Structure 1
Amino acid sequence: MSAPAAAATTGAPLPTPTYGAGGSFAISCSSRIAAAPRDCLDVVVASSECTFLPPDQDNAAWNRFCRKCTIDSQPDDTPSDPTHLRLGTHFTFDVHLNPSEPDGAAAGQAIALQVSVLEPIDEPAGSEDGSPPRKGWRIAWKQRASLLMPAWLLRSERVQEFVEVEGGKETDYRCWETFYGLLAPVVRMAAAAQVERGFEAWSEGLKGRVEKGGRGE
């Protein structure tokens, strides 16, 4: 297996596909996964993979941060399998800000989201800075606004990139979420450390699921 995932950090805002530059702050993490980018993406978009099961059951879930993913609605062109995240999917995560909670813990915080980007990465080498070409996949989702939480008050978008390395046999995984709006500084003070731990649990769980073949071993 590849090296352990790096610790998540909170820092300056990073651009996101929907909201661009700006914002209040970003939480980010990264890791090297010993699998192809598409294998990593396939786990992330499978909503049933997130449903948390005891570890002695087959297909025990990898995700201690978001322990359940409920599909609320799919775009009109959804294929016969409605259980996977697609561009435009509305879904709700059951978020546990303490990933160390026991397996039978009560439901966490319901966060309503929408897939805002799902696309291949195919970027040529940079002629000016000498950067190498990048190939892989990118998925992003943003928080759905509501009457109680309008976008001007708080909005965020999370981006995950899976870029192939070692000839496509391994993946450089990079994830960041940028927070915008008047309440973003409050979120940073109140919950940034918890979200960091959640991102670390997500990254470590994803790495373990993909590298061990998806059996929760």
Structure 2
Amino acid sequence: MIRYLNPFLFIYCLLITGCGSSSNVQENNLNSLNLEVNLADENSSYHTITLSGFNQEIQNQYDVTVQKLEALSPEDVKKIDQSADQIAATIKDDPISYNRVLWALGSEHFKEHSTDYESPEPTASDWDEMPELNGGMNALMSEVRYPEELNGLGGQVMVEFIVTRFGDVKDPFVTRSLHSAADHEAIRAIKKMKFKPGIIDGVPVQVKFTAPVFFRNR
């Protein structure tokens, strides 16, 4: 299911280049951890995950992991067991809880170990977040190349696309054209972008968005 959030708020977020950068650093740091998963079955009423491989060169990696798990307790995480070199978490037998914990630990773990879940409905709660472009608008504009065919023409192309629950761009198309060459370049640049996905009730979801791509003759 594709979610629709306010594209004008999205454009505003793009213009703030530092949007969401600090939390992304922590999430990326946790992607390097080893993750062992045991899903609930007839012998267990809970999911369990075990994290190991903590890198001393990554500042506070162990403490950040514990903090993220504690932030989801007791609603999702029922128990946290700690030792010197690993952390084990007991998770509620619920697909949304399980995926919410994986997402808190990093997008790579979510990609590799996520399960299907029922699409949650928007609640306008603190769990709801709009997608954020990694690197902000600067990342997009640094990718854009000014086509020679524009011959000094400036303006913007509006591109509509889907941000997947993994932060990838899917099915972009032009909704406001400037020139065929600019349209093609806008699509190419948008496809190169990576996003922090939209979040509803703590779970990553697909979201449809529109973004401007600006062309200026420098």
Normalising by the residue count of structure 1, what TM-score does the alignment of the two structures yield? 0.24
Q: Which has the higher helix share?
A: 2
> TM-score scaled by structure 2?
0.24
Q: Which has the higher contact order (CA 8 A, sep 6+)?
A: 1
